[in-house]
Amino acid sequence: MRTAMTAALALAVAGTALAQDTRKTAVAGKLENSRITLDFKDAPLDDVLNFLREFTGIDFMLDAGVRDKLSDDQLKVTFKAKDLTLKAALKLILTPRELTVVYRDGVLVVEHKDKTARAVTMELYDVRDLLLKIQDFPGPVVELAGSGKSGGTFEFTVDEGKSVIEEGFLEELVKANTGDRSWDENPAASLSLVNGRLVVTQSKKVHEEIRRLLNLLRQYK
Protein backbone atom coordinates (compact mmCIF):
# COMPACT_ATOMS: atom_id res chain seq x y z
CA MET A 1 0.00 0.00 0.00
CA ARG A 2 2.75 2.43 0.97
CA THR A 3 4.65 1.70 -2.26
CA ALA A 4 1.53 2.37 -4.30
CA MET A 5 0.89 5.63 -2.47
CA THR A 6 4.51 6.71 -2.99
CA ALA A 7 4.28 5.92 -6.69
CA ALA A 8 1.01 7.82 -6.99
CA LEU A 9 2.50 10.82 -5.22
CA ALA A 10 5.55 10.77 -7.50
CA LEU A 11 3.30 10.64 -10.55
CA ALA A 12 1.23 13.55 -9.22
CA VAL A 13 4.35 15.64 -8.60
CA ALA A 14 5.71 14.81 -12.04
CA GLY A 15 2.37 15.68 -13.60
CA THR A 16 2.28 19.03 -11.79
CA ALA A 17 5.82 19.86 -12.87
CA LEU A 18 5.00 18.95 -16.47
CA ALA A 19 1.89 21.12 -16.40
CA GLN A 20 3.90 24.04 -15.02
CA ASP A 21 6.57 23.63 -17.70
CA THR A 22 3.89 23.47 -20.38
CA ARG A 23 2.25 26.64 -19.10
CA LYS A 24 5.58 28.45 -18.86
CA THR A 25 6.39 27.47 -22.45
CA ALA A 26 3.00 28.76 -23.58
CA VAL A 27 3.55 32.11 -21.84
CA ALA A 28 7.04 32.41 -23.37
CA GLY A 29 5.53 31.71 -26.79
CA LYS A 30 2.98 34.50 -26.36
CA LEU A 31 5.70 36.94 -25.32
CA GLU A 32 7.73 36.13 -28.41
CA ASN A 33 4.93 35.84 -30.96
CA SER A 34 2.03 38.08 -29.87
CA ARG A 35 2.09 41.42 -31.64
CA ILE A 36 0.41 44.44 -30.11
CA THR A 37 -0.32 48.10 -30.79
CA LEU A 38 -0.29 50.43 -27.77
CA ASP A 39 -1.22 54.06 -27.23
CA PHE A 40 -1.04 55.29 -23.62
CA LYS A 41 -0.87 58.82 -22.25
CA ASP A 42 -0.03 59.16 -18.53
CA ALA A 43 -1.72 55.84 -17.83
CA PRO A 44 -1.02 54.16 -14.46
CA LEU A 45 1.11 51.07 -14.90
CA ASP A 46 -1.66 49.01 -13.26
CA ASP A 47 -4.00 50.02 -16.10
CA VAL A 48 -1.37 49.06 -18.69
CA LEU A 49 -0.96 45.63 -17.13
CA ASN A 50 -4.74 45.17 -17.00
CA PHE A 51 -4.93 45.94 -20.72
CA LEU A 52 -2.17 43.44 -21.47
CA ARG A 53 -3.95 40.84 -19.36
CA GLU A 54 -7.19 41.25 -21.31
CA PHE A 55 -5.40 41.29 -24.67
CA THR A 56 -3.16 38.25 -24.11
CA GLY A 57 -4.91 36.17 -21.47
CA ILE A 58 -1.69 36.17 -19.43
CA ASP A 59 -1.93 37.04 -15.74
CA PHE A 60 0.15 40.10 -14.87
CA MET A 61 0.83 41.35 -11.36
CA LEU A 62 2.68 44.41 -10.06
CA ASP A 63 4.91 43.46 -7.14
CA ALA A 64 4.11 45.45 -4.01
CA GLY A 65 7.77 46.41 -3.59
CA VAL A 66 7.66 48.48 -6.78
CA ARG A 67 5.70 51.21 -5.01
CA ASP A 68 8.43 51.43 -2.39
CA LYS A 69 10.88 52.30 -5.15
CA LEU A 70 8.79 54.44 -7.50
CA SER A 71 6.22 57.17 -7.01
CA ASP A 72 2.80 57.23 -8.69
CA ASP A 73 4.13 59.76 -11.22
CA GLN A 74 7.06 57.51 -12.07
CA LEU A 75 4.62 54.67 -12.65
CA LYS A 76 2.61 56.61 -15.22
CA VAL A 77 3.14 55.35 -18.75
CA THR A 78 3.22 57.40 -21.93
CA PHE A 79 3.91 55.03 -24.76
CA LYS A 80 2.84 54.68 -28.37
CA ALA A 81 3.91 51.87 -30.68
CA LYS A 82 2.47 49.82 -33.52
CA ASP A 83 2.81 46.12 -34.22
CA LEU A 84 5.45 45.27 -31.61
CA THR A 85 5.97 41.88 -30.05
CA LEU A 86 4.67 41.75 -26.48
CA LYS A 87 8.20 41.04 -25.25
CA ALA A 88 9.61 44.14 -26.96
CA ALA A 89 6.76 46.34 -25.72
CA LEU A 90 7.25 45.23 -22.12
CA LYS A 91 10.98 45.87 -22.34
CA LEU A 92 10.47 49.40 -23.69
CA ILE A 93 7.92 50.21 -20.98
CA LEU A 94 9.70 48.64 -18.02
CA THR A 95 13.42 49.19 -18.63
CA PRO A 96 13.43 53.00 -18.20
CA ARG A 97 11.87 52.45 -14.76
CA GLU A 98 14.42 49.80 -13.73
CA LEU A 99 11.64 47.21 -13.76
CA THR A 100 11.63 43.70 -15.15
CA VAL A 101 9.17 40.86 -15.54
CA VAL A 102 9.59 37.44 -13.93
CA TYR A 103 7.56 34.27 -14.49
CA ARG A 104 6.38 32.91 -11.16
CA ASP A 105 3.71 30.23 -10.62
CA GLY A 106 1.88 30.97 -13.85
CA VAL A 107 1.97 34.75 -13.40
CA LEU A 108 4.20 37.39 -14.98
CA VAL A 109 5.27 39.52 -12.03
CA VAL A 110 6.59 43.02 -12.68
CA GLU A 111 9.20 43.83 -10.06
CA HIS A 112 12.16 46.12 -9.51
CA LYS A 113 15.50 44.86 -10.82
CA ASP A 114 17.00 45.16 -7.33
CA LYS A 115 14.66 42.47 -6.07
CA THR A 116 15.30 40.20 -9.05
CA ALA A 117 19.04 40.55 -8.59
CA ARG A 118 18.75 39.51 -4.92
CA ALA A 119 16.53 36.49 -5.56
CA VAL A 120 18.71 33.43 -5.00
CA THR A 121 18.73 29.69 -5.59
CA MET A 122 21.15 27.03 -4.36
CA GLU A 123 23.22 24.97 -6.80
CA LEU A 124 25.98 22.39 -6.39
CA TYR A 125 29.10 22.38 -8.57
CA ASP A 126 31.30 19.29 -8.68
CA VAL A 127 34.84 20.73 -8.72
CA ARG A 128 36.82 17.70 -7.61
CA ASP A 129 38.66 17.74 -10.93
CA LEU A 130 39.83 21.31 -10.22
CA LEU A 131 41.10 20.63 -6.72
CA LEU A 132 44.26 18.73 -7.70
CA LYS A 133 46.99 20.82 -6.16
CA ILE A 134 49.49 22.32 -8.56
CA GLN A 135 53.03 21.54 -7.47
CA ASP A 136 55.88 23.99 -7.82
CA PHE A 137 59.11 22.11 -8.52
CA PRO A 138 62.04 24.56 -8.42
CA GLY A 139 64.53 21.97 -9.73
CA PRO A 140 67.61 20.34 -8.21
CA VAL A 141 70.09 22.09 -5.94
CA VAL A 142 73.72 21.29 -6.80
CA GLU A 143 76.32 21.48 -4.04
CA LEU A 144 80.06 20.64 -3.99
CA ALA A 145 80.83 18.13 -1.23
CA GLY A 146 84.24 17.45 0.30
CA SER A 147 87.16 19.61 1.42
CA GLY A 148 86.97 22.03 -1.42
CA LYS A 149 90.14 20.61 -3.12
CA SER A 150 90.14 18.97 -6.50
CA GLY A 151 88.62 15.57 -6.46
CA GLY A 152 85.54 16.72 -4.49
CA THR A 153 82.19 15.23 -5.37
CA PHE A 154 78.95 16.90 -6.34
CA GLU A 155 75.76 16.27 -4.43
CA PHE A 156 72.35 16.73 -5.97
CA THR A 157 69.31 17.38 -3.81
CA VAL A 158 65.77 17.91 -5.02
CA ASP A 159 63.38 20.05 -3.00
CA GLU A 160 59.89 18.67 -2.62
CA GLY A 161 57.26 20.60 -4.48
CA LYS A 162 55.36 23.21 -2.58
CA SER A 163 51.63 23.52 -2.97
CA VAL A 164 50.62 26.68 -4.83
CA ILE A 165 46.88 26.32 -4.32
CA GLU A 166 45.65 26.55 -0.74
CA GLU A 167 42.47 24.81 0.31
CA GLY A 168 40.29 27.92 0.02
CA PHE A 169 41.84 29.17 -3.20
CA LEU A 170 38.97 28.10 -5.47
CA GLU A 171 36.39 29.75 -3.22
CA GLU A 172 38.36 33.00 -3.26
CA LEU A 173 38.80 32.75 -7.03
CA VAL A 174 35.07 32.37 -7.61
CA LYS A 175 34.18 35.28 -5.33
CA ALA A 176 36.83 37.52 -6.87
CA ASN A 177 35.69 36.88 -10.45
CA THR A 178 31.91 36.62 -10.20
CA GLY A 179 29.03 38.43 -8.58
CA ASP A 180 30.71 41.82 -8.27
CA ARG A 181 29.71 43.16 -4.82
CA SER A 182 26.77 40.82 -4.33
CA TRP A 183 28.83 38.45 -2.15
CA ASP A 184 29.05 41.23 0.44
CA GLU A 185 25.84 43.14 -0.23
CA ASN A 186 23.33 40.30 -0.61
CA PRO A 187 22.85 38.66 2.81
CA ALA A 188 21.31 35.58 1.17
CA ALA A 189 24.40 34.88 -0.98
CA SER A 190 26.81 32.21 0.23
CA LEU A 191 29.54 29.89 -1.00
CA SER A 192 31.26 26.94 0.65
CA LEU A 193 33.34 23.97 -0.40
CA VAL A 194 32.10 20.61 0.89
CA ASN A 195 33.61 17.26 -0.13
CA GLY A 196 34.80 18.54 -3.49
CA ARG A 197 31.61 20.39 -4.30
CA LEU A 198 30.93 24.10 -4.27
CA VAL A 199 27.63 24.81 -2.54
CA VAL A 200 26.50 28.17 -3.89
CA THR A 201 23.46 30.26 -3.05
CA GLN A 202 23.28 33.13 -5.51
CA SER A 203 21.20 34.85 -8.17
CA LYS A 204 20.60 33.32 -11.58
CA LYS A 205 22.98 35.80 -13.19
CA VAL A 206 25.84 34.95 -10.82
CA HIS A 207 25.26 31.21 -11.29
CA GLU A 208 25.76 31.76 -15.01
CA GLU A 209 29.00 33.63 -14.30
CA ILE A 210 30.22 30.79 -12.07
CA ARG A 211 29.54 28.18 -14.74
CA ARG A 212 31.49 30.21 -17.30
CA LEU A 213 34.42 30.62 -14.89
CA LEU A 214 34.59 26.91 -14.02
CA ASN A 215 34.44 25.95 -17.69
CA LEU A 216 37.27 28.38 -18.40
CA LEU A 217 39.38 26.91 -15.58
CA ARG A 218 38.86 23.42 -16.98
CA GLN A 219 40.27 24.51 -20.31
CA TYR A 220 43.58 25.35 -18.66
CA LYS A 221 43.96 22.41 -16.29
- Does 50 share its domain with 70? yes
Residue 9 — very low, low, confident or very high, per pLDDT cuts 50/70/90? very low
Structure confidence by residue, pLDDT tens digits, 95-149: 999 998 888 878 899 998 888 767 778 899 999 888 865 444 555 555 555 555 5
- Does 177 share its domain with 111? no
Residue 10 — very low, low, confident or very high, per pLDDT cuts 50/70/90? very low
- Does 95 share its domain with 163? no
- Does 101 share its domain with 209? no
- Does 130 share its domain with 107? no
Considering the chain, what is the average pLDDT of its residues?
Answer: 80
From CA 54, how far away is CA 75, in angstroms rounded? 20
Kindly report the backbone phi and psi dihedral angles of residue 131, in degrees, each rounded to the nearest multiple of 5, phi listed first. -95, 5
State how many domains the chain has. Answer: 2
Torsion sign (Cα): 148, 149, 155, 156: positive
From CA 100, how far away is CA 188, in angstroms rounded? 21
- Does 100 share its domain with 20? yes
- Does 15 share its domain with 89? yes
Torsion sign (Cα): 61, 67, 70, 72: positive
- Does 22 share its domain with 106? yes
Domain that holds residue 135: 121-219
From CA 102, how far away is CA 109, in angstroms rounded? 5
From CA 167, how far away is CA 163, in angstroms rounded? 10
CATH number of the domain within which 40 lies: 3.55.50.30
